[in-house]
Amino acid sequence: MSEVRNLEPKSVWNHFEDLNAVPRPSKQEERVIAFAKSFGNNLGLSVYEDKVGNVIIRKPASPGMENAKTVIMQAHLDMVHQKNADTNFDFQTQGIESYIDGDWVTAKGTTLGADNGMGVAAIMAVLSSNDMIHPAIEALFTIDEETGMTGAFELEKGILEGQILLNLDTEDDDEFSIGCAGGIDTNTTYKYSTEAVPSELKTFSIEVKGLKGGHSGMDINLGRGNANKLMNRLMHEGLNHDLRIVEINGGSLRNAIPRESFATVVTNASFKSEIASLINDIKDEYRINEPDLVIVVDEVSGVNSSVGQDDTRKIIQAIFSVHNGVFKMSEAVEGLVETSSSLARVIVKDGEFKTQSLQRSSVESSKMDIANTVGGPFHLLGADVEHTGSYPGWAPNPNSEILELMKSKYQEMFNEEPNVMACHAGLECGILGERYPGLDMISFGPTIRNPHSPDEKVNIKSVQKFWSFLTEVLANIPSK
């Protein structure tokens, strides 16, 4: 039995381990949907699956709470699947292998699934409890949050009756999120020409790895390295050595800061020695934020063809030109990133140069401004540029009744003020608020670090704090 199952509160951790035994990548949630439905049916509760796979489980109010407002408890079923390059793990068939590491629970070389598995597990613990005080509960488990928020977008109107929505998808146990950023994807495709490799050129592999990565919204202002941009600096230096690209595979997920990039290039024989100084400079630049950065250049077996010399230069200059990182800080909320972009994927293979990037902003007009800024260099290159997957932000409600209740209870329980804020991440609240106008919404959760990366971990004590607070809030929901 996993040591994690012995942690308190046992109900939450055991539900988390049960959930983590089920593979649940975005857009392939059939198994976890069946898991959620089976869970609700085994409890004898009302279970409903909508047309896209969202699952709604209803639990009646506990005795004495029948007149309280109905609460929608919401979390998403899918998780980001990422692993270290040297980790042998099949996300399609294996369950996450979690373990205790000091004050944290983490996973062996993969993402943990605490985002948003801890929220799902907490809701399961509420549904399965026989002694909690709570109002009528509508548990809403959405699908495909991580790659498009399809579940929230396609949720049927009129199916929910709750007046309060508790989104359990925030990653600091002292924070209440009352607003979030919207987002949009920019995807580009450019068809390049290939040429025979001149006989005097050598073939080299380049590896950029060991970066922290992380959430491309919440972590975008932390100064972490972007493997795609660092790889491009190395290749740009190679233009002085007759470099041509053979292949690039950089990053892995649209909403994660890329941790690794792998490339094959052809260039002159002195490339490895000539680029050593730049590698040292880059490592020195990132010595604090990225102490584990590794850059490896090795001569490998020769290849016959590569991207043409002219197209190589165009591709490298386009990547150099595209904005990555914070674009604008909020003028309304001190310390909040308003607008950003992350160059998540760079692929050069089989005659096509492709990129994927994600732009986020709490201001709709600024979101389109950064999307057009990112698209600009690729338009100049002659690439096809597509803006897709746009979703709205969530505007804060200064008159929120649930916010005032939760602030009061937090101060009473922990003798400190909570951090009420908007976040630079995409939460489903913005979409759900459009589907159900008038919902009183708030997002909170336990402390999670490095989501969307194999370094993801959740703090054990914060889960205890989160659970005790959640149960107190549910016991004090106001009357209708």
Query: DSSP states of 22-37 as a string?
Result: S--BTT--HHHHHHHH
Kindly report the pTM of this predicted structure. Answer: 0.76
At residue 165, φ and ψ (nearest 5 deg) are -120, 120
Q: Which CATH number fits domain 3-181+393-475: 2.120.10.60, 3.40.630.10, 1.10.275.10, 3.30.1360.120?
A: 3.40.630.10
Do 295 and 282 touch, CB atoms closer than 8 A? yes
Q: Which candidate in 78, 115, 146, 169 is catalytic?
A: 78
Average pLDDT score over residue span 84-96? 92
| Model pLDDT, residue 345 | 98
CA distances from 107 to 195, 215, 218, 248 (A): 44, 17, 21, 28
CB-based contacts of 335, cutoff 8 Å, min separation 6: 329
Tokens of 469: 């607070």
| Model pLDDT, residue 331 | 86
Average pLDDT score over residue span 350-359? 97
| Model pLDDT, residue 423 | 86
Strand pairing of 71-76 and 98-101?
unpaired
Annotated catalytic residue 145: yes
| Model pLDDT, residue 294 | 98
Whole-number average pLDDT of the chain: 95
pLDDT band at 1; cut points 50, 70, 90: low
Map out the domains of the chain as residue ranges. 3-181+393-475, 184-391
Q: Which candidate in 115, 145, 146, 290 is catalytic?
A: 145
Do 115 and 2 touch, CB atoms closer than 8 A? no
Radius of gyration of the chain (CA): 24
> Of 282, 426, 278, 239, which is closest to residue 342 (Cα–Cα)?
426
Q: pLDDT digits over 380-410, tens only?
A: 999 999 999 898 888 888 789 999 999 999 9
Q: pLDDT digits over 210-227, tens only?
A: 999 999 998 999 999 999
Q: Which CATH architecture has domain 184-391?
A: 2-Layer Sandwich (3.30)
